[in-house]
Structure 1
Amino acid sequence: MSNPSICSLYPADIDCSGPWLLHPESPFEKLIPSLKKHGQLVPVLAVEESGKILLVAGRARVSAASKLGLDVLVRYIDAADDISKAVLHLEENSARLADESLKLSVVRFFAARIDAAELPNIVAPLLGLKPKSRDMKFWLDWMELELEYDELLKLGHIPLAAVSVLIKLDEPDRTALVRFFEKLSWSRSNAVNFLTWLYETSRRENKSIVELISAPAFDSAGESESPKDAVSRFCKSAKELCYPTLSELEKVHCKIVSEICAGTKWRVEPVGSFETGEVMIQTRFKNREMMEKAMADLESIFKFSGWEDLFELGRDK
């Protein structure tokens, strides 16, 4: 017995432009061999409204059928509004990978149409998240940011976790920070640390971030500076603003260590950010010859007088 909810239509008769079609269309070319050999095995989903056939899921199948000049099998479903259509669209495509760009589009779509209090319970399951998870909170907070940041997130220039700090800032400060992410891709830790250090300095000194980043140390990267070096410079500058005493100790430490360990592969690092007055010394070797050289170097640097200055750094702090 035939199913009355399924019919055959020309591809051109199906409207594939609905805003609820949140997943980008997947390449339809890979479906063509199967359509030629077996025909359309799974109908697309659609609704009929005001004499129009509106697609809910199956754009690649419609495109492939159109390319081959074939009719499309359509299954009519009940979806009274855009929200219902979006939910069915996402459920139908649940096996597809949801990247940050898609998640952003989904949350923006629903945030514009439903109450914020309902958003987690409706959207989280569609994205594979728990309604009360940290990531869901990040997405809710992201809805408060300017649309400029949406593009940066889609490009992978700024991580979602950065919103944990951005949401605390005034709009002028957030706008001023956009330039740091326009041409550089930041890791989660670098972005969160950079923004946190600026935020904490701003609060401590009662200065806007706009004022803080006007210093030459925060000038945009030049042509000769690599993206990695630019991010490192910005992070270092923000950290020095936030922890001036610690930054000065690190500079002195590096100077002393460079003299102590000159010509060797030994490294000396403070323990606990100079809070303990202790240091850790280490190196690596992969054979006995390298080990003998390392031990000889260790005996040599043991005699260096700069050790006392190094030990005093922690005590002076």
Structure 2
Amino acid sequence: MSNPNVYSLSPADIDCSGPWLLHPESPVEKLIPSLKKHGQLVPVLAVEDSGKKLLVAGRARVAAAEKLGMDVLVRYIDAADDISKAVLHLEENGARAADEFLKLVTMRFFSARMDAADLPKTVAPLLGLKPKSRDMKFWLDWMELEPEFDELLGLGHIPLAAVSVLSKLDETDRAALVRFFEKLSWSRSNAVNFLTWLYETSRRENKSIADLVSVPAFESAGESESPKDAVSRFCKAAKELRYPRLSELEKTHNKIVSEVCAGTKWRVEPVGNFETGEVLIQTRFKNREMMDKAMADLESISKFSGWEELFELGRDK
């Protein structure tokens, strides 16, 4: 049972180093004006253990009081083990948003101390997740990955959803993929597509991903290549491996279109990955002058013989 009494302690007497303090330290500057004007309105939470005062929640208040040379108001609670302390710490900080980094360190903390089967019920509510949600499953799968992926996730270089593919790979193949995320930040769709195409190609051709990405198309980005261009290049190379016939059709299509539509703002795209034999042609304009120019361009490009070749691409598939 918690002790309802509040005690006054020196900040130096409170141990704020517990591993259950999962939230990152908050800046104390915002608390200082309030402490000066009103004093400490809410006591921090702590437990007594072998004569030590172990903080459970309120690290910023302790730091601010120490900076001002003030004592800290403390209320003692019952929390016999690290798991109980962490639960109380997260509940007391429930108003703070749980970002990806907090979810990561929280999952690592609890997964090291609990059976995986008990994690959803205990941890999900503390992080604002539903126990049976897709994100919770992603976090459970992430706990099986190597530590280097934690760093990449914390940096925002790889999305959590990438685990849907990474969890299917062996350790050697995952290790071969780390370099693609070390210096580049990937969107969810790009990362999942890139990994999925490599995984499916690996299965189809009975080759390791380490072998697939050893070719020049997957060389690391150079200094002159922008991060966006590097990600596009890697995705394109992975897609070409997965869909070689489709990639050849796209190359042919783009070559013809570049000739047919040269000097105009018209765009021509295949419909249904060339399966229908149809194309979509479109442009934009915002005034009469631009519209007249577009219509004149359309009449001109309609006379090019390249259209017949475009229509045949779909039929030849």
- Alignment partner, residue 196 of structure 1: 196
- Alignment partner, residue 271 of structure 2: 271
The CA distance in 2 between the partners of 1:185 and 1:4, in whole Å, is 49
What one-letter code is carried by the residue in structure 2 that aligns with 1:123? V
For structure 1, the residue ranges without an aligned partner over 5 or more in a row are: none
Q: Deviations over 1:286-313 (max 9, x none)?
A: 0000000000001111111110000000
Question: SS of the residue aligned with 1:118?
Answer: helix
The Cα of 1:97 is off from its aligned counterpart by: 1.5
The Cα of 1:5 is off from its aligned counterpart by: 2.5
- Alignment partner, residue 296 of structure 2: 296
Alignment of 1:1-317 (within 5 A): 5-317=5-317
Question: SS of the residue aligned with 2:116?
Answer: coil
The Cα of 1:12 is off from its aligned counterpart by: 0.2
The CA distance in 2 between the partners of 1:75 and 1:218, in whole Å, is 57
The CA distance in 2 between the partners of 1:144 and 1:189, in whole Å, is 22
Q: How many residues align?
A: 315
For structure 2, the residue ranges without an aligned partner over 5 or more in a row are: none
The CA distance in 2 between the partners of 1:148 and 1:174, in whole Å, is 10
The Cα of 1:30 is off from its aligned counterpart by: 1.0
What one-letter code is carried by the residue in structure 2 that aligns with 1:257? V
Identity among equivalent pairs (%): 86
The CA distance in 2 between the partners of 1:200 and 1:37, in whole Å, is 63
Question: SS of the residue aligned with 1:55?
Answer: strand
TM-score with structure 1 setting the length? 0.99
The CA distance in 2 between the partners of 1:87 and 1:61, in whole Å, is 19
After TM superposition, where is structure 1 displaced by more than 6 Å over at least 4 residues in a row? Answer: none
The CA distance in 2 between the partners of 1:154 and 1:116, in whole Å, is 22
The Cα of 1:4 is off from its aligned counterpart by: 5.3
Q: Deviations over 1:172-221 (max 9, x none)?
A: 00001000000000000000000000000000000000000000000000
Aligned-pair Cα RMSD in Å: 0.7
The CA distance in 1 between the partners of 2:287 and 2:211, in whole Å, is 54
The CA distance in 1 between the partners of 2:9 and 2:105, in whole Å, is 30
Question: SS of the residue aligned with 1:29?
Answer: coil
The CA distance in 1 between the partners of 2:97 and 2:129, in whole Å, is 13
What one-letter code is carried by the residue in structure 2 that aligns with 1:259? E
What one-letter code is carried by the residue in structure 2 that aligns with 1:130? K
Question: SS of the residue aligned with 1:95?
Answer: coil
The CA distance in 1 between the partners of 2:140 and 2:233, in whole Å, is 31
The Cα of 1:314 is off from its aligned counterpart by: 0.4
The CA distance in 2 between the partners of 1:4 and 1:227, in whole Å, is 56
The Cα of 1:276 is off from its aligned counterpart by: 1.0
The CA distance in 2 between the partners of 1:134 and 1:255, in whole Å, is 42
Q: Deviations over 1:1-24 (max 9, x none)?
A: xx8531000000000000000000
The CA distance in 2 between the partners of 1:191 and 1:111, in whole Å, is 26
The Cα of 1:98 is off from its aligned counterpart by: 1.0
